[in-house]
């Protein structure tokens, strides 16, 4: 008896998080690869994670991941969209911190801290752009931001909100990432965003863990709606 159309639907690719849960081999490989990230700079890691070109026109597949993980066009398309989404957020954070530093509202240790945060967000931008290019994509264009810069207190509270939103955004995309190296890179940024948020929470006397024991992920539509007021 011929199968019905519903019986022949191709299985959808599982996100790397789902594969890590059910596949011990994937999990062990990911843990080895993620652990090695601590020994190298983030920029070098995220570029190597997505493949490095040995000869013009030839892309080498990462030795840490099977070819099916890094060469699948459908997986690459999904991961590229996520990387460009993250890049858009990092563009805005970088611009925000740049304007805060230029405002001169902060000085001393706090001013130095804000400046460091801005440089770290700029490093995220460069790393994400490189990752997109290594996957064969085109980096998202830099949006034009607009941020209210009125007082030190208002800016610090806004930074706290923005950093928590960024951390939630990365967490929300983690289950959808196909490439384990891209996931490890996203988590490497996520933890920095969360540490920024916690530090700023201490500064403005707000909770360093606003969601309690478990952070809440934010989906793409929620995050994009939240940043809309900051787009020129």
Domain ranges of the chain: 14-29+41-51+59-230
What are the beta bridge partners of residue 60?
52
Tens-digit pLDDT profile for residues 110-123: 999 999 999 999 99
> Given pLDDT bands bounded at 50, 70 and 90, which one contains residue 73?
low
- DSSP letter (8 states) at residue 231: B
Q: What local confidence, expressed as pLDDT, does residue 15 receive?
A: 60
* CATH superfamily, with its number, for domain 14-29+41-51+59-230: Ferritin, core subunit, four-helix bundle (1.20.1260.10)
pTM of the model: 0.72
Choice between 187 and 67, residue whose per-residue pLDDT is larger? 187
Q: What local confidence, expressed as pLDDT, does residue 54 receive?
A: 34
Cα dihedral 108, 109, 112, 117 in deg (nearest 10): -140
Q: What local confidence, expressed as pLDDT, does residue 152 receive?
A: 96
Q: How far apart are CA 190 and CA 86, in angstroms?
A: 10
CA distances to 76, 170, 224 from 165, rounded to whole Å, are 25, 9, 10
Tens-digit pLDDT profile for residues 202-231: 999 999 999 999 999 999 999 999 999 999
Q: How far apart are CA 74 and CA 177, in angstroms?
A: 11
Tens-digit pLDDT profile for residues 29-72: 545 544 444 433 334 334 333 333 333 333 333 333 333 333 45
Is residue 170 predicted with pLDDT exceeding 50? yes
SS3 at position 74: helix
Is residue 153 predicted with pLDDT exceeding 80? yes
Q: How far apart are CA 79 and CA 85, in angstroms?
A: 10
- DSSP letter (8 states) at residue 166: H
Residue 160 tokens read as: 């706290």
Cα dihedral 114, 115, 118, 119 in deg (nearest 10): -140
């Amino acid at each position: 008896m011929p199968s019905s159309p519903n019986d022949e639907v191709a299985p959808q690719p599982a996100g790397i998080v789902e594969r890590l849960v059910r596949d011990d081999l994937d999990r062990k490989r990911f843990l080895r690869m993620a652990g090695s990230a601590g020994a190298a700079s983030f920029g070098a890691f995220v570029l190597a994670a997505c493949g490095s070109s040995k000869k013009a026109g030839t892309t080498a597949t990462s030795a840490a991941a099977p070819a099916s993980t890094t060469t699948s066009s459908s997986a690459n398309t999904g991961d590229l969209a996520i990387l460009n989404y993250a890049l858009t957020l990092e563009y805005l954070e970088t611009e925000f911190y740049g304007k805060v530093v230029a405002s001169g509202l902060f000085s001393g240790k706090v001013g130095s801290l804000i400046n460091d945060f801005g440089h770290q967000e700029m490093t995220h931008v460069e790393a994400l752009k490189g990752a997109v290019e290594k996957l064969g994509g085109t980096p998202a264009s830099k949006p034009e931001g607009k941020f209210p810069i009125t007082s030190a207190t208002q800016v610090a509270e806004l930074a706290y909100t923005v950093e928590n939103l960024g951390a939630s955004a990365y967490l929300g995309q983690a289950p959808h990432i196909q490439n384990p190296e891209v996931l490890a890179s996203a988590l490497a940024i996520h933890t920095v965003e969360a540490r920024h948020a916690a530090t700023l929470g201490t500064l403005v006397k707000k909770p360093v863990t606003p969601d309690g024991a478990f952070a809440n992920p934010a989906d793409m539509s929620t995050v994009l709606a939240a940043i809309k007021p900051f787009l020129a």
